Structure 1
């Protein structure tokens, strides 16, 4: 069973994580610091200890999840430090914030794990990358993995510099799929379908194809070849896509996202 968990910030990510943790058979003690009274009331109704004071929430937990917006971190970190003791672990989901910066704001030797979740965490289908800070090891990574497991899958990396790549691939990744869906719907409408018809066609094709891909062991090339008859309609479409250097486009896009992540981490 996980030790008591306290969230500093009760936004969308924290709400999803709390919902996932609440479904566990061995539910841990949960607390959250959230300034919005309406949100606090919702958490309280779910059996979560809700407070407006960061220090009070931190005092109650052994795993502290830093889930505020980046602009609120400067206020939250000193309050976390004020209630800190060596038994606690900080798990931060602040985008672009290195563990060294968080460690510097806390008492010496503080154990920190950095995490990069993505938005499908909200429906229990998230992907989360985690890495240890200077004073964290396999035990702390195990706790962080158990923290996120009810809401998705977790990838551990030992080198924190890889977190910018994780952000580029999975952190920002949902937006790529959403943008692709937008483009396909627009293209279907250009062929004369109504928006509702286009969403039905693209939505079900996407859902079915993704499930088929997962069940195949992610053998995308083989499945693509099965659909593509030489000289047929699929080949005609793929020829247009391939002529646009499609793979290179994604290589450049992900590299740009990774580079921007490094820039943001430098402040």
Structure 2
């Protein structure tokens, strides 16, 4: 029987991202008996079932049962998996792809041109339920199905809908790959702190807590991050000296070039993987 709040939900692939989404949903009260998963790694699948009480089966079986199917396999095998799955989708479930670099046209070609498909670009903080996901729905996706996709991905973080699919490449550059940028900044701050005499343990703790505090403050403030930055800076003070050094070294241009390279790589990967 259909349940609009808790549709029968299948995961094709049971890796870290699928595990994070399933865990977030169950924690929020999604009935475990309405979730099933499949994966070639039977040990990982059994562990997932033990941890969350969900059902398991092969790809075809869980897809035929489901009202929503989350495609959580690696991009390199998506074509093979989806083409084999196509006969099991005659009942037209909502299909959510969380594979990077696979565009909607390719998914429709492999899964069926009349299928409701939502592309999703999540990021790794979904593992701790602080993720950020960009979503794009094709024209066959109903309003109710959009709500279902938002409910599922909202279990592990925030969701932003995009009307234009090409903007998914920008989402990749901002949030999809973004955690790595912040990790690099943290690495650099820790190393600089050690060079200035702090122990690595102290530099790491101070850096990570500062990153957490800055993000929390930005999320809860009623002013933009530019104003928050200015509020930390006193004229002629220590923070101003650091910020002026960043500006002289072209930090903004560095980020612009890096994120442009990321988006362009996303486009080229989509072309290569979508063949």
What TM-score does the superposition give when structure 1 sets the normalisation length?
Answer: 0.95
Return the match for 1:9 from 13, 28, 35: 13
Correspondent of 1:111 among 95, 99, 116: 116
Q: Is the 8 A contact 2:13 2:37 kept in 1?
A: yes
Secondary structure of 1:115 counterpart: strand
Q: For 1:57, which of 53, 56, 62 is the aligned residue?
A: 62
What secondary structure, in the 3-state scheme, does the structure 1 residue paired with 2:193 have?
helix
> Which of 112, 122, 131 is matched with 1:126 structurally?
131
Partner in structure 2 of residue 20 of structure 1? 24
Q: Tell me the matched-pair count.
A: 266
CA distance, structure 2, for counterparts of residue 211 and residue 24 of structure 1: 22
Aligned-residue CA RMSD in angstroms?
1.5
CA distance in structure 2 between the partners assigned to 1:160 and 1:26 by the alignment: 29
TM-score by length of 2: 0.92
* Runs of at least 4 residues off by over 4 Å: none
- What is the distance in 2 between the residues matched to 1:261 and 1:94? 12
Gaps of 5+ in 1: none
**1:147 counterpart SS class:** helix
Deviations 1:199-233 (A, max 9, x none): 12212222222222222235222222222122221
Query: Contact between 1:130 and 1:141, CA under 8 Å: does it hold in 2?
Result: no
How far residue 246 of structure 1 moved from its aligned partner, in angstroms, is: 1.5
- 1:107 Cα shift? 3.2
Residue of structure 2 equivalent to 1:182: 187
Shift of 1:26: 4.5
